[in-house]
Amino acid sequence: MPGEPRLSTSLSFLAPLQDDIRAVEGMMLAQMEGHHADLRNALDLILKSGGKRIRTSLTLLSGRTFGADPQRLKTLAAAIELLHTATLVHDDLIDGSLLRRGLPTLNSQWSPGATVLTGDFLFARAAVLAADTESIPVIRQFAHVLGVIVNGEITQLFASRCKASRDDYYERIYAKTASLFETSTWSAAVIGGAEAPAVEAMRNYGYQVGMAFQIIDDILDFTSDAAQMGKPVGSDLRQGLVTLPCLYYLEDHTADPDVQPLFQGRCLSDEQLSRVVASIRESHAIERSYQEAERFVHLGLESLRSVPPSPERSALEELADYIVARKL
Amino acid sequence: MPGEPRLSTSLSFLAPLQDDIRAVEGMMLAQMEGHHADLRNALDLILKSGGKRIRTSLTLLSGRTFGADPQRLKTLAAAIELLHTATLVHDDLIDGSLLRRGLPTLNSQWSPGATVLTGDFLFARAAVLAADTESIPVIRQFAHVLGVIVNGEITQLFASRCKASRDDYYERIYAKTASLFETSTWSAAVIGGAEAPAVEAMRNYGYQVGMAFQIIDDILDFTSDAAQMGKPVGSDLRQGLVTLPCLYYLEDHTADPDVQPLFQGRCLSDEQLSRVVASIRESHAIERSYQEAERFVHLGLESLRSVPPSPERSALEELADYIVARKL
Q: Which chain A residue has the Cα nearest residue B96?
A: A113
Residue to mutate among A118, A158, A239, with most B CBs inside 10 A, is A158
R_g (Cα) of chain A, nearest Å: 20
Per-residue pLDDT reduced to its tens digit, B178-197 = 999 999 999 999 999 999 99
How distant is the Cα of A148 from the closest Cα of chain B, in angstroms?
Answer: 9
Quote the CA–CA distance of A185 and A207 in Å, as a whole number. Answer: 9
pLDDT at A4 over 60: no
Quote the CA–CA distance of B6 and A192 in Å, as a whole number. Answer: 47
pLDDT at A229 over 70: no
Q: Which residues make beta-bridge pairs with B104?
A: B99
Least confident of A215-229, B33-47, B280-294: B33-47
Q: Helix %, strand %, coil % for chain A, to 5?
A: 75, 0, 25
Quote the CA–CA distance of A184 and A178 in Å, as a whole number. Answer: 10
Residue A2 pLDDT: 39
Q: Which chain A residue has the Cα nearest residue B139?
A: A131
Inside any domain, residue B279: yes
Count of helix runs (H) and strand runs (E) in chain B: 18, 2
Q: Is A125 on the interface with B (CB under 8 A)?
A: yes
Residue to mutate among A120, A125, A139, A239, with most B CBs inside 10 A, is A120
pLDDT greater at residue B327 or residue B78: B78
Quote the CA–CA distance of B115 and A26 in Å, as a whole number. Answer: 32
Per-residue pLDDT reduced to its tens digit, B259-298 = 999 999 899 999 999 999 999 999 999 999 999 999 999 9
pLDDT band at B9 (very low <50, low <70, confident <90, very high): low
**Secondary structure (DSSP) of B116-181:** HHHHHHHHHHHHHHHHHT--HHHHHHHHHHHHHHHHHHHHHHHH-TT---HHHHHHHHIIIIIHHH
Residue A50 pLDDT: 65
Quote the CA–CA distance of A115 and B92 in Å, as a whole number. Answer: 15
A113 to B38: CB separation less than 8 angstroms, yes or no: no
Residue A3 pLDDT: 44
Inside any domain, residue A196: yes
What is the distance in angstroms between the CA of the first residue and the CA of the last residue of chain B?
13
Inside any domain, residue A4: no
Chain B residues closer than 8 Å to A82 by CB:
none
B118 to A159: CB separation less than 8 angstroms, yes or no: no
Inside any domain, residue B270: yes
Per-residue pLDDT reduced to its tens digit, B90-144 = 988 888 776 666 667 777 777 888 889 999 999 999 999 999 999 999 999 999 9
Closest partner CB to B140 (pick from A117, A128, A143): A128
Q: Is A90 on the interface with B (CB under 8 A)?
A: yes
Closest partner CB to A117 (pick from B114, B120, B153): B153
Per-residue pLDDT reduced to its tens digit, A236-249 = 999 899 999 999 99
Collapsing DSSP to helix, strand or coil, A33 comes out as: coil
Provide the domain limits for residue A186.
Answer: 16-325
Inside any domain, residue A9: no
pLDDT at A180 over 80: yes
Interface confidence: ipTM more than 0.85 = yes
Least confident of A31-40, A82-91, A309-318, B259-268: A31-40
Q: Provide the domain count of chain B.
A: 1
Quote the CA–CA distance of A135 and A144 in Å, as a whole number. Answer: 14
φ and ψ of B12, to 5 deg: -65, -35
CA atoms within 13 A on the CB side of B172: 24
Question: In chain A, which among 205-234 make CB contacts under 8 A with chain B?
Answer: none
pLDDT at A80 over 90: yes
Closest CA to A100 of A114, A112, A85, A113: A85
CATH number of the structural domain spanning residue B54: 1.10.600.10
Q: List Cβ<8 Å contacts ≥24 apart for B273-279.
A: B273/B234, B273/B237, B273/B238, B276/B234, B276/B237, B276/B246, B276/B249, B277/B222, B277/B233, B277/B234, B277/B237, B277/B238, B279/B249, B279/B253
Q: Which residues contact B155 (CB under 8 A, 6 or more apart)?
A: A36, B171, B172, B175
Q: Which amino acid is at A109?
A: Q
Inside any domain, residue A142: yes
pLDDT at A251 over 70: yes
Residue to mutate among B87, B106, B145, B150, with most A CBs inside 10 A, is B150
Inside any domain, residue A10: no
Are A206 and A184 in contact, with CB atoms under 8 Å apart? yes
φ and ψ of B103, to 5 deg: -110, 155
Inside any domain, residue B60: yes
Q: Is A255 on the interface with B (CB under 8 A)?
A: no
Question: In chain A, which among 138-197 make CB contacts under 8 A with chain B?
Answer: 139-140, 142-144, 146-147, 149-151, 153-155, 157-159
